[in-house]
Structure 1
Amino acid sequence: MEEAYPVDAAQLLQAATDFAYDPSPQSDASAQEFLNRFPLLAVLNALQTKSDYPGLEDALFDCLDKVFRTKYGASLIPHFMPSVVAGLGAPSQNVRRLACITVSSLLDNTDETTAVYLILQSGVYPLLLRCLIDGDEQVAAAAMAAIKNLAGFTTGLDIIFPASSTEQTDLGDLAAKCSSLGRVRILALIVKLFSISTTVASKVYNANLLSLLEKEVGNANDTLVTLSALELLYELVEAQHSMEFLSRTTLLYLLSSIISNASADSILRSRAMLITGRVLSNDNAFLFIDEPSYRNVISAIDRRFAFLESQNADEFECAIEALGQTGLCKKGAAALLLSSPAPVRHVIDAAFDCQQHGKRLAALHALGNIVGETRSGNDVLLDGDAEESLRRLIYDTSSKTPKLTPSGLLLSVLQQDSEIRLAGYRVITGLVARPWCLIEIISRQEIVDIVTDKYNETEKIGMEARHKCCEAVYKSFTSSSKLMSDPAHSGLATKLEEAIRSGPYLGRKHAEAQPVVTTEQRF
């Protein structure tokens, strides 16, 4: 082939480098001009036969990557499928990666019927799987992107999930036969596919592929693989439709088992708790997960606190964060407060009694979630029993401290550093929707002064949190005609309203330039 397509390697290297690294946007015209000078088949041949020429392979990779991203370049791909197939099986990782990228470009720029037909007829999909499993990291990423693009077509899904699969394409069979790294990559592909849509997730579930994730999460023999599987599960539960399918698996049970296993690696327990929090932060979770299941996993986290506070600060913070994630959703917050004993007591104790900065910060943010700072409207307040549990827990905690009252505890938080103070604003923003907390807040002038002080914060996030807190206090106060008419609180509404009207970003007072006058020096 080299004789049939003679090309000067030095000239090609220079031209490819100029094209690849030209800072101006590449256009169809520039791509066509380059290929008029060096025909595509000649370039592809040089990529395969002159890879030992210094710098040529890298330059051609960057050049062709740009060429195939133009519409003109993409239009040529269907005519060069044999070269694409050869590239997918090439020994060079750069060539394999380029071939995977080319497949993605084909799918992005060609109609579904033509693109899927070419991929099916050329046997591209099994080669993409091979690149995923045994390519280097960049090749695997490019292969996964191409397969995900293929899954975006209805007929493409039929290639990935055929009525009868072969050993070459069955993800379950491939996972059983490859290395631990290959298994993790297959799991990563499954998660990517699952996250596309409910339709694709259904195909993943019906193909029994979630069982591969279950197997690795429950793997007690390889901590690194288990941790990788947990990371992928964390990504999977971000999909809004995930609860419908996860509820049919044993994954929640497996997470509970990891959390409860005192001999498990601490990092596994930590990740399991965070994933659990992510699962239960989804409102849909409580539509599909039965009450015993979510109470079991909450209890597993609660039991860990007895061993954590003095032994493992990182795991303690993860447990706190998991409870805070659960509290993002109204039903999750209620479940935490109605559990017996209520695990929220650990959050409140750490938020107001813990002397360690990291624990206290995590607990305050978790409490902010639980009391509804991120929720809106009718979702801020919980049902009667859960609300009573929250009120009782906060008053019980405050009564055991030198501050004695919730207002004393909240003031002490607002008097701390900016990170703690920001978390404190979040807690007050959520809590002040409760009449009992509103009274605590407005009865403490120091709290009102801090919340309305437009010069108190210097960073944008702190300014916004303080302003939002001020708005929440104003809204609750003006909703109570009884408090509004109380002479003891005269002028409070005006003070809050003025602070709100100033906006969050007024910042520091402007220092006025002062004239400097000095007497003339005489010698």
Structure 2
Amino acid sequence: MHEEFSMEDPTQLLETASDFANYPGVLNDAAVRDFLNRFPLPAIINALQTKLDVPGLENTLTACLERLFKTKFGASLIPQYMPFVQVGLQADSQAVRSLACKTVTCLLEELDCDTDVAARLIAEYNIYPLLLDCLVNGNEQVAAAAMDVIKKLAHSPEGREIIFPSAREGAADLRTLASQCSSLGRVRVMALVVKLFSVSKSAASTIYSLNLLNFLEAEIANADDTLVTLSVLELLYELAEIEHSTEFFSKTNLLQLLSSIISNNSVEAILKSRAMMIIGRLLSKEIIYTFIDESCLKTVISSIDGRLKSLESSDRDECETALEALGHIGLSIPGAALLLSGTSPVARHVIYAAFDQQGPQGHGKQLAALHALGNISGETRSENDKILNSEAEENVRRLIYEVGSRNSKLTPSGLFLSVLRQDSEIRLAGYRMISGLVARSWCLMEICSKQEIINMVTDPSSETTKIGMEARYNCCKAIHKSLMQSSKLSVDPALAAIDAKLQEAIEMGPYLVRKHVEAQPIVMTAERF
């Protein structure tokens, strides 16, 4: 039956396999058994390997087998067909190679509680080197599938032993591979290192101890190919997002290299922008300040400061990115304090841009600066963490009053009101900024000195979008909370009236709700026939 079917009439297999692959519901084990009773797995594999000249057969069979192996019963058959997986990983067909990679993933998921058996099978059939070949030489889909299965393998100690064998010469496999392949393959190997780094702190520690992060350092240091460097910076951005990355990141030269990119006038703007965003992401985490010395931090911050000073009005996109990066740094207390330290604090760029109305040309810059100032002033931090050290607090107050004195607004209250009179995006950022700054008594008094500001933040009809209503409401609550904690509330009748108005607005909630209206009787004339 198998010989007659596979060699003479594959049409029936093609039709049934297509139905199986495209079945809209969940395939249970009974459906898989029924399908395999009609078309045994060896017959399907044989039809795939003999490359019959039937249009669509290969794609249909690979899709069918992929779905089959994802079922519990199908996955249980994989250990019996490891030679097929081994051959499939070396196939000329990219579709077959992708299927083979995904089949190994199914094997690992099926044997998730028996990782030593899965690792033994992978080692016995020499699967890992074949997966690496798929990673560097396969097409995009094959490379992605290979990366996924290697990352899955790294979740178990037995799997990590395959990837990072104890023998020192074996541990050099990834470094050797990266040095021998194309630039695309090299980027893929580095991407794999980042994926493995994210698996666990244990895996990250192994990667660091084997100096595998040197891949990324070397590529950043030898920034000859802009596309490759940009790809590596994207990987660093991903690395910076990993929870346990800060400790290991701080032990490398990556921060210094990123600072060099920002300070190098010959480097393209897109690389500078990505470098600034990576620094922003890293320094937004408070824990990193326990690993990096102050001199290094000041060097990193000064590189962004220098870049902002050199930017012209035509460099709006890069300027917005730099302000956004500073906003990320300001999320943490040490970061915010660092930005507001010294006689010419880096945060001055943020404060100047936040109140600099340049029309449509400067909209994005002002928006980025307002959100950054909201972060620096503590809008996202807990109530006890909003206020910074005395130097930082004096600088933020001084700079905002300085900006007010330079234009017709004259006072911070005038600046705040000018922001709230702009479009919805700017207003939303303005609400965030006020919510953070109002924890300072000087800012609270400025807010309360402008009745129009109080009217706007207490009026639910002033915003029409959900996010705008919620930002206005949160701002109203922040002002009320700061006012309740103020010693001046009990002695100033005007502040008491403002407090009552804020309290009433809070009770109404964030959304537009009509005040309760008493039911009115309706008088109707009698119907006449």
Superposed pair shares fold, TM > 0.5: yes
Q: 3-state DSSP class of the match of 1:504?
A: coil
* Structure 2 partner of 1:270: 273
CA distance in structure 2 between the aligned counterparts of 1:508 and 1:413, rounded to whole angstroms:
27
Q: 1:365 aligns with which of 367, 371, 389?
A: 371
Instruction: Return the letter of the residue paired with 1:284.
Output: I
Give the match for residue 300 of structure 1: 303
Q: 1:443 to 1:327 in 2, by over 3 A?
A: same
Q: Are 1:90 and 2:91 matched, yes or no?
A: yes
Residue aligning to 1:426: 432
Structure 1 equivalent of residue 469 of structure 2: 463
2:101 corresponding residue in structure 1:
100
Alignment of 1:33-112 (within 5 A): 33-50=34-51, 52-110=53-111, 111-112=114-115
> 1:374–1:9: structure 2 CA closer, same or farther, 3 Å change rule?
same
Cα distance change of structure 1 residues 78 and 508 upon mapping to structure 2, 3 Å threshold: farther
Cα distance in structure 1, aligned partners of 2:414 and 2:372 = 20
Structure 2 residue 193 is the aligned partner of structure 1 residue 193: no
**Within the alignment, does 1:315 sit opposite 2:281 as a pair?**
no
Alpha-carbon contact 1:218-1:226 (below 8 Å) kept: no
Match of 2:384 in 1: 378
State which of 323, 328, 332 in structure 1 corresponds to 2:331. 328
Inter-partner Cα distance in structure 2 for 1:138 and 1:394: 53
Distance 2:252 2:343 in 1: 26
- Indicate whether 1:409 and 2:415 are aligned: yes
Distance 2:514 2:82 in 1: 64
Report the TM-score when normalising by structure 1. Answer: 0.95
Q: Please report how far the alpha carbon of residue 416 of structure 1 lies from its aligned counterpart in structure 2 after TM superposition.
A: 0.5
For 2:83, the aligned partner's letter is: P
> Structure 1 residue 506: deviation in Å?
2.6
What letter is aligned with 2:28? Answer: S
Give the Cα–Cα distance (whole angstroms) in 2 for the partners of residues 187 and 470 of structure 1.
48
Which runs of 5 or more structure 2 residues have no equivalent in the other structure? Answer: 517-521, 523-529
Distance 1:295 1:84 in 2: 53
Of 493, 501, 509, 1:495 maps to 501
Match of 2:456 in 1: 450
1:432 touches 1:476 (CA, 8 Å); kept in 2? yes
Code of the residue aligned with 1:188 in structure 2: it is A
Answer yes or no: is the 8 Å Cα contact 1:97–1:142 preserved in 2. yes
Q: In 2, Cα distance between the equivalents of 1:105 and 1:381? A: 52
Conservation of the 8 A alpha-carbon contact between 1:17 and 1:59? yes
Shift of residue 491, structure 1, vs aligned partner: 2.4
Contact 2:171 2:210 in 1 (8 A): no
How do 1:188-227 and structure 2 match up within 5 A?
A: 188-227=191-230
Partner of 2:18: 17
Compute the displacement of 1:358 (Å).
0.7
Contact 2:354–2:366 (CA<8 Å) still a contact in 1?
yes
1:421-443 Cα offsets, whole Å, 9 max, x none, are: 00000000000111110111111
Q: What is the CA–CA distance in structure 2 between the aligned matches of 1:508 and 1:410, rounded to whole Å?
A: 28
CA–CA distance in 1 between the matches of 2:498 and 2:59? 69
Instruction: Give how far 1:475 is off.
Output: 0.6
How far has the Cα of 1:3 moved from its partner? Answer: 4.5
* Structure 1 residue 171 corresponds to structure 2 residue 177: no
Question: In structure 2, what is the equivalent of residue 518 of structure 1?
Answer: none
Q: Give the partner amino acid of 2:364.
A: G
| Distance in 1, Cα, partners of 2:171 & 2:125 | 14
Show the counterpart of 1:390. 396
Secondary structure in structure 1 of the residue aligned to 2:6: coil
Q: Deviations over 1:164-187 (max 9, x none)?
A: 266797110000010000010001
Mapped pair 1:258 → 2:261 = yes
Q: Which moved more, 1:476-485 or 1:236-245?
A: 476-485
* Residue deviations 1:12-61 (CA, integer Å, cap 9, x gap): 11111111111111111111111111111111111221354211111112
Q: Which moves more between the two structures, 461-470 or 145-154?
A: 461-470
Q: Does the CA contact (< 8 Å) of 2:164 and 2:170 recur in 1?
A: no
Distance 1:176 1:436, change over 3 A: same
Is the contact between residue 407 and residue 440 of structure 1 (CA under 8 Å) also seen in structure 2? yes
Cα RMSD (Å): 2.0
Question: How far did residue 228 of structure 1 move?
Answer: 0.5
SS in 2 for 1:491: helix
For the Cα contact (< 8 Å) 1:5–1:45, is it kept in 2? no
- In the superposition, relative to structure 1, how do residues 75 and 441 fare at CA in structure 2: closer, same or farther (>3 Å)? same
More displaced 10-residue stretch of structure 1: 160-169 or 354-363: 160-169
Residue matched to 1:400: 406
CA distance in 2, matches of 1:339, 1:48: 70
Number of the residue aligned with 1:520: none
Residue type of the alignment partner of 1:376: S
Counterpart CA distance in 2 for 1:4 and 1:123 is 34
Q: After the TM superposition, which parts of structure 1 deviate over 4 Å for at least 4 consecutive aligned residues? A: 2-5, 165-169, 507-510
Q: Is the 8 A contact 2:164 2:171 kept in 1?
A: no
SS at match of 1:50: coil
**From 290, 308, 315, the counterpart of 2:293:** 290
TM-score (norm 2): 0.94
Matched, 1:353 2:362: no
Partner in structure 1 of residue 144 of structure 2: 141
Deviations 1:386-410 (A, max 9, x none): 1111111111111112101111001
Q: Could you tell me how far 1:285 is from its partner in structure 2?
A: 1.2
Amino acid at match of 2:206: K
Unaligned runs of 5+ in 1: 516-523
Q: How many Å separate the matches in 2 of 1:81 and 1:476?
A: 67
Q: Report if aligned partners of 2:6, 2:46 keep a CA contact under 8 Å in 1.
A: no
Check the 8 A contact 1:477/1:484 in 2, yes or no: no
Residues 51 and 182 of structure 1, relative CA distance in 2, 3 Å threshold: farther
CA deviations 1:329-385 (Å, max 9, x no partner) are 010000010145211111111110141101011111111111011111211111111
Helix, strand or coil at the partner of 1:338: coil
Task: Tell me if the contact between 1:460 and 1:505 (Cα under 8 Å) persists in the aligned partners.
Answer: yes
1:272 aligned partner, one-letter code: A
Contact 1:131 1:143 in 2 (8 A): yes
Determine what percentage of the aligned residue pairs are the same residue.
Answer: 59
Cα distance in structure 1, aligned partners of 2:181 and 2:483: 64
Any idea what the Cα deviations from partners look like across 1:465-491, whole Å, max 9, x if unmatched?
111111111111111242244112232
**Against the structure 1 CA distance between its residues 234 and 508, is the aligned structure 2 distance closer, same or farther, given a 3 Å change threshold?**
farther
Preserved CA contact (<8 Å) 2:20 2:64: yes
| Secondary structure of the structure 1 residue equivalent to 2:313 | coil
SS of the aligned residue for 1:16 comes to: helix
Q: Amino acid of the residue matched to residue 66 of structure 2?
A: D
